[in-house]
Amino acid sequence: MRQHHRTPRLLGTLLLVAAAGISLVGAAPHTEAAAPPVRVVPAPASVEPGGSPYRITGDTRIRVDDSREARTVGDYLADILRPSTGYRLPVTSHGAGAIRLRLGGKGLGAEGYRLDSGRSGVTITAGRPAGLFHGVQTLRQLLPAAVEKDSVQRGPWLIAGGTIEDTPRYAYRGAMLDVSRHFFTVAQVKHYIDELALYKVNKLHLHLSDDQGWRIAVDSWPRLAAHGGSTQVGGGQGGFYTKADYREIVRYASSRYLEVVPEIDMPGHTNAALASYAELNCDGVAPPLYTGTDVGFSSLCVNKPLTYDFVDDVIRELAAITPGGYLHIGGDEAHSTSHADYVTFMDKVQPLVAKYGKKVIGWHQLTGATPAKGAIAQYWGLDDTGAEEKAQVARAAQNGTGLVLSPADRLYLDMKYTADTPLGQDWAGLVEVRRAYDWDPGGYLPGVPASAVKGVEAPLWTETIVTSADIDVMAFPRLPGAAELGWSPASTHDWDTYKVRLAAQGPRWDALGIGYYRSPQVPWPAR
């Protein structure tokens, strides 16, 4: 595997072409010898195709290690396979089983896995349960797209023979959902989590507060949710998560091996809080709720001691229901806060995050203050953001601040694909599928040590996004590209082979009911 990480680009490409070559034999999908093509997104670190395929039949059993986590991943796999195959597929922790989920093996890290497939069965081996789960996502993609349907389909259910060894390039592979501009229910968030899990995304960043809505219950400041959560962009009724709701999102995300990263955006983007409590305002007057889409007009009152009681309470309560390691404190577009106040505010707030046992993440403007030790800055600039701003981020990275890259003209899923895209915005530009995929996080920002890059994240802002179908058409097909940038070794990066693998996802999304943008850049199979 290590070897393959260092594989030169050409050889990596050849490996993928070799893998894709199986599809030539697979051209007649209903013949006995044919295996489906190996067209996996994100590209695995190494694929060695060869040998006979395994065929799932009515006799197949799923044998798992005798641990709660392995059993749960086995049940998850069975739940995917049973409706479309129509087979019983018992999950068992003893005896034989042709599909085997094993904990063990060395060198696979916290999330890696090895998948061995041959005539007698398929074994997924991982050091940790997360690796088994990611291996299961790969296994899904080795099966025909019809496996994703929820009614019985015709097989055969062949899995190409060979070995895949796979570990992620980056530990932080995120997606953000803005639940403030428009509120999304727990069920809608779970739906998105399931989609993220398909592509091995492991962080769900929830943008829980903004000018237009406060979306998380805080017991010590109840009007934040009750009043601040009572509307949204356009004036709809909004909503908020109770603590039980939030815990349920966290639990569900964790069952898909995603960690929730909650964001309370401060000191700007705070109109919903300021509207809920007059005393948080410097002039003691609460502004009205806001349902428009302007930015940069609100600020917490940096010189009022009460502001820090408020922030302490919010962070304490949120940290208490967040098992993950991070708490995102926003820090973007604080245009109504002076620079000196911004620095003062961040100096006071970052220690509160540490006080409650979490690490700070902030939008990259945090690098204009003094990022706390261990903090991560999330870069949301553009390719042509000024050299000075990039240099400020690079200096922070040189001084130990980690970076998560979300270039707005690459990874903002709310940017329109073309001028004709009905939803979304275009302030960062038009972002077609190739543009979203075709860059290297490792070398993106000049002067940033490669080790400072912790990963990538694809944010979805929801000023224009209202339904799950809206989420789907903006996230697909760009989200899988972001996920691949986070997971796959740079040696596999190649648009021409990527677009073929991406095209193979289309029938899967059709089977799953995910409506996506049929970009003309991608050679989708005919429907």
Give the interface with ligand ACM as residue ranges (CB under 6 A). Answer: 332-333, 363, 380
Nearer to ligand ACM, 259 or 332 (CB): 332
Nearer to ligand ACM, 153 or 336 (CB): 336
Task: Report in angstroms how near the CB of residue 406 gets to ligand ACM at its nearest.
Answer: 8
CB closest to ligand ACM, residue no? 332
Axis crossing angle, helix 495-503 with helix 478-487, rounded to the nearest 10: 120
Alpha helix stretches (DSSP H) within 1-67: 2-5, 9-25
Residue in 90, 28, 93, 85 with CA at minimum distance from that of residue 64: 93
Nearer to ligand ACM, 116 or 332 (CB): 332
CA distance 353 to 161: 49
- Please say if 333 is a catalytic residue: yes
Nearer to ligand ACM, 126 or 264 (CB): 264
Task: Report in angstroms how near the CB of residue 485 gets to ligand ACM at its nearest.
Answer: 19
Give the number of other Cβ atoms within 10 Å of residue 328's Cβ: 26
Task: Report in angstroms how near the CB of residue 227 gets to ligand ACM at its nearest.
Answer: 24
Nearer to ligand ACM, 37 or 213 (CB): 213
Per-residue 3-state assignment (H helix, E strand, C coil) for 91-157: EECCCCCCEEEEECCCCCCCCCEEEEEECCEEEEEECCHHHHHHHHHHHHHHCCHHHHCCCCCCCCE
Task: Report in angstroms how near the CB of residue 438 gets to ligand ACM at its nearest.
Answer: 22
DSSP secondary-structure letter at 241? B
CA distance 64 to 42: 25
Task: Report in angstroms how near the CB of residue 380 gets to ligand ACM at its nearest.
Answer: 4
Alpha helix stretches (DSSP H) within 256-386: 271-276, 305-320, 339-355
- Give, in order, the Cα–Cα distances in Å from 212 to each of 150, 263, 408: 38, 14, 21
CA distance 487 to 111: 10
Burial class of residue 299 in the structure, from the number of CB atoms within 10 Å of its CB (0-12 exposed, 13-18 middle, 19+ buried): buried
Catalytic residue among 48, 69, 333, 389: 333
Task: Report in angstroms how near the CB of residue 379 gets to ligand ACM at its nearest.
Answer: 10
- Give, in order, the Cα–Cα distances in Å from 175 to each of 10, 266, 383, 408, 502: 30, 20, 20, 13, 18
CA distance 379 to 401: 12
Nearer to ligand ACM, 117 or 350 (CB): 350
Task: Report in angstroms how near the CB of residue 450 gets to ligand ACM at its nearest.
Answer: 24
Residue in 253, 115, 202 with CA at minimum distance from that of residue 486: 202
- Give, in order, the Cα–Cα distances in Å from 473 to each of 145, 297, 364, 421, 517: 19, 31, 28, 10, 6
Task: Report in angstroms how near the CB of residue 134 gets to ligand ACM at its nearest.
Answer: 28
The pair of three-digit structure tokens given for residue 478, joined into one six-digit string: 């760009």
Nearer to ligand ACM, 380 or 498 (CB): 380
Nearer to ligand ACM, 165 or 210 (CB): 210
Residue 43: CA count within 13 A, CB half-sphere? 32
Dmax over CA atoms of the chain, in Å, equals 76
The enclosing H or E element of 90 equals none
The catalytic residue positions are 333
